[in-house]
Amino acid sequence: MGVLVRPSWLRNLTLCMLTLGALGWGSAAVAPHDQDNPQAQESEPVRLDKKQLEAKAKEIVSEGGALEKQGDLAGAFDKYVDAEGVFSTHEALSGIKRIHEAEDQKITEALAATHHTFNDARYADCVTQLEAALRIEPGNPPVHYDLALCYSKLAERTRALDHLDESTSTVYKPKRRMELLELHSQLLMGMDLATDPPAEIEDRLASFNQAYVASARDPGDITTSIDNKDAANGQHLCGTAKELQHDIPDNPAVDFNEAKCAEEDAHPEEAARLLAEYLKLAPHALDAAAIETRRQQLTSLGALPGDPGKVVREHYAIAARYLDYRRYDRAITEYEAAQTAMPDYPQTAWRLGLLYESYGDAAKAQASFARYQQLDPSPNAKIQGDTHLRSMEGRRALYEAGVAEGQEILTDLLLHSMGISTQGTKHKAHLTRQQRRWASGRYKRTLSASEKLSPPYVERQLERARDLLEKSSELFPLGVEANELLALIYLESNDWPAAFRSFDSPAGRNLPVSFYAQVNSVRDSQQVRAAKVEITSNKVRLVYLSSYDNSKHITGPPKSPAGDDDLGNLVVSEASEMAKDADVFTVPAADIVGVETKNNFVVLKLKDDDLYLAPVYMMGAVPFEGRASRTFGNEYTRLFIRYLGYEDAKLGIEGMSPGDKFKLGLAVGLTGLAVFNTVRTFGAGSYGAYGSALHVAELIHVLMVARTAFVGVHLAVTAVDTDYLIQNIRVDTATVQRTGADQRQVLEGLEFKIIPTEPSDFEYREKL
């Protein structure tokens, strides 16, 4: 296994040079880069003592104070957070709090003022005002919602949907979230589906929507085989969809959902007919072009002659169900079997090419696209194939550059939070009075082995990494490297459904899913070892990264180097291997007696020992007991259920247990557990990622920033280089959008649409 290497040929594509910046770690925090020299060469980390770090932090805080007085709140905020990355101080934290409060006040005032603009029907001015508010707080839900409203009034539905989805991704109240998902469907289809069905039908509609959203969160155990339609995710949904089509025949969303079920039942002709009905009922739907393409493909599939045609249809139907479960490797196997049954059917080569491309497997993708062009001599096939073939190398360069940046951010945070970066130096986490009095000895030992990082600093760094990696993954949605890193970030924010979606990519390539933890065992209860925990379908492997001496309060190195990055290789690829002498403990699945959540621990029960895994939480200390503690532990226990196939694993109670209210530890909430919003809109029947080309342009812009403080990578760019890139971004966005739309067509297939249950209530809101 190995660390992702930046491509040496990236300079030829982007006309810029990636130069490693010097990153120094102190005993308390991260020492900053030399921000005045963006072309600084890599050097050895410089250790600074506590007084030097504190002095440096105060210097940066002073710079932030000057910017705050000038009214530059964004610049001041970054300075205060930079200072927290060096040494945590009351002054910096107070500055961060002041700016948050000032920004909240500005957003409140902006929403109130824009409300008057909206009421005056000045929708263009409304957009201008809200876009300005979004620059203050980019993720604000009401601002995104109202922007969606204003863009819809200007008949810019594509941009409206982008903002509506951003708003929906941050709303967790079930009733409000469902309202927004229903609104998405209506905006997507370009019509207000005002219905007044009988109560029993209205209940059935609501039941369908709720069941679909619930199923989208947890698609089930990845090891389960899908041998027939009864085992597929949509069995209940398809039964309800058929009933609804009979009850509400003129609803386009209902026809669309029944078309999906017909496709998965190996009835492509019926699916094509229903999609034609959908297009007739919703002629202005934003996904009309994509659905027409799908309709033509289904018509072609249904017309395949003889027994070979029947076999191909069966394989396509099974592949569609596997894609519902995000079991991409099995879908590929089905399409390969279809290609064997009918080698000259071009659509199979096209779909295989898109799946391989989504993984970033250039060789297989290029071979499949070339085969597609040979089998289909039409001009359109040549244009489609060439679009993907010619742009693949450039997209790969951008993808790897974005992943490299995100990887470096996470590497620095993990090394520091687990105490690995300060091996040989005394450190011990501060325990609160409650922790000292009530927490177990094991909890205290595992907490002491970790180092506390400043939450605002960690939050910003994780947000930066997430932003880079999500934009990179739009180029190759199943790219293993980006998805491995994104999954760790989603786990950090306690969003296990999003983590599953990312982990399904490496799992589909028979690569391990992994997380980091402090490990303590019953047999050796005094020793705490930092480890990378890797889970596959037949074993669990612990790669030991360091050991902590609780008596001396010192972290020591493992017996042998833990990968190329001291993290057991944060990014794992198919071609890489762990060094043979690495300090590794492997547990075959057959030797595991049990897996369970015990407060914030995941307990791996073996025949002769119990291993207590305390997953790393970089934002702070997880409560030692109570609901938040169990919720945190459960997201890691679920990994063993889905990827090891250990169905008997025991989850902790996530609601209030009877004894919780009497325990003092519950008074301490898991502050910052939801670090940032990572849940994307699902269950909306979305055409998907309308702004992908824009996001890729933003990725290139981020990579072109000459000063990227605290990230570890500096990009030296001249003004001419920047102008050159911007021009090429404008030329290439159409290609990026086209390739992304093609990939989504095969990965998502026909995704159920939420069926609106009542007329749209799309009005200006200052709060959500």
* pLDDT tens track for 263-299: 999 999 999 999 999 999 999 999 999 999 999 999 9
pLDDT confidence tier of residue 441, bands split at 50, 70 and 90: confident
**For residue 690, is pLDDT > 80?**
no
| Packing angle, helices 174-189 and 199-217, rounded to 10 | 100
Above 70 in pLDDT, residue 760?
yes
Residue after which a domain boundary falls, among 189, 216, 250: 189
Please give the model's pTM, rounded to 2 decimal places.
0.84
Is residue 91 assigned to a domain? no
pLDDT of residue 207: 86
Quickly tell me which residue has 């993720």 as its tokens: 139
| Cα gap 6→665, rounded to integer Å | 46
Show which of 607, 635, 651 is a domain's final residue. Answer: 651
pLDDT digits (tens, 9 = 90+) for 338-363: 999 999 999 999 999 999 999 999 99
Nearest to 372 by CA among 395, 396, 390, 388: 388
| Contact predicate 273/302, CB 8 Å | no
Q: Which of 448-452, 483-487, 532-536, 597-601 has the lowest mean pLDDT?
A: 448-452
Residue 646: inside a domain: yes
pLDDT of 232 over the 60 cut:
no
Cβ neighbours for 203, distance < 8 A, ≥ 6 positions apart: none
pLDDT of 483 above 90: yes
Candidate from 218-227, 430-439, 461-470 with smallest mean pLDDT: 218-227
Q: Which whole number is the average pLDDT over 510-537?
A: 92
In a domain, 24, yes or no: no
How many structural domains are present in the chain? 2
Please report, to the nearest 10 degrees, the dihedral formed by the alpha carbons of residues 500, 506, 507, 510 taken in order: -170
Q: What sign for the dihedral angle of Cα 562, 567, 569, 572?
A: positive
Rg (the chain; Cα; Å) = 27
Asked whether 646 and 589 are in contact (CB, 8 A), the reply is yes
For 119-162, the pLDDT digits (tens) are: 999 999 999 999 999 999 888 999 999 999 999 999 999 999 99
Q: How many alpha carbons fall within 13 Å on the CB side of residue 625?
A: 16
Only one residue has tokens 């705490």, namely: 528
Q: What pLDDT shows up at residue 684? A: 43
Average pLDDT over residues 676-697: 43
Higher pLDDT, 237 or 370: 370
Site of tokens 């990355």: 85
Q: Is 17 within a domain?
A: no
CATH of the domain at 644: 2.30.29
**CA-based torsion, 385, 386, 389, 392: positive or negative:** negative
Q: What confidence score (pLDDT) does residue 395 get? A: 84
Rounded to a whole number of angstroms, the distance between the first and last alpha carbons of the chain is 46
Residue 299 contacts residue 200 (beta carbons within 8 Å): no
The closest alpha carbon to 711, from 15, 114, 16, 35, belongs to 35
- For residue 671, tell me if it sits in a domain: no
- The C-alpha atoms of residue 626 and residue 767 are separated, in whole angstroms, by 31
Tell me if 116 is assigned to some domain: yes
Closest CA to 241 of 662, 759, 761, 753: 753
Average pLDDT, the chain: 81
Cβ–Cβ < 8 Å for 80, 97: no
Q: How many CA atoms lie within 13 A of 312 on its CB side?
A: 24
- At 103, list the tokens: 């920004």
- What's the DSSP call for residue 650? B
| pLDDT 10s digits, 692-739 | 445 555 666 555 542 333 333 333 333 334 444 444 444 366 777 788
- Note whether residue 593 is domain-resident: yes
Which of 189, 207, 227 finishes a domain? 189
Q: Tokens standing for 374? A: 């040979």
> Is residue 639 situated within a structural domain?
yes
Residue in the block written with tokens 């899913």: 513
Residue 741 has pLDDT above 90, yes or no: no
Higher-scoring residue by pLDDT: 287, 493: 287
Q: What are phi and psi of 90, to 5 degrees?
A: -65, -35
Output the CA torsion sign for 559, 561, 562, 565. Answer: positive
pLDDT, tens digit (0-9, with 9 covering 90-100), for 375-407:
999 999 999 999 899 888 888 888 888 898 899
CATH number of domain containing 163: 1.25.40.10
Q: Which residues contact 53 (CB under 8 A, 6 or more apart)?
A: 26, 27, 28, 29, 31, 86, 87
- Residue range of the domain that includes 133: 103-189
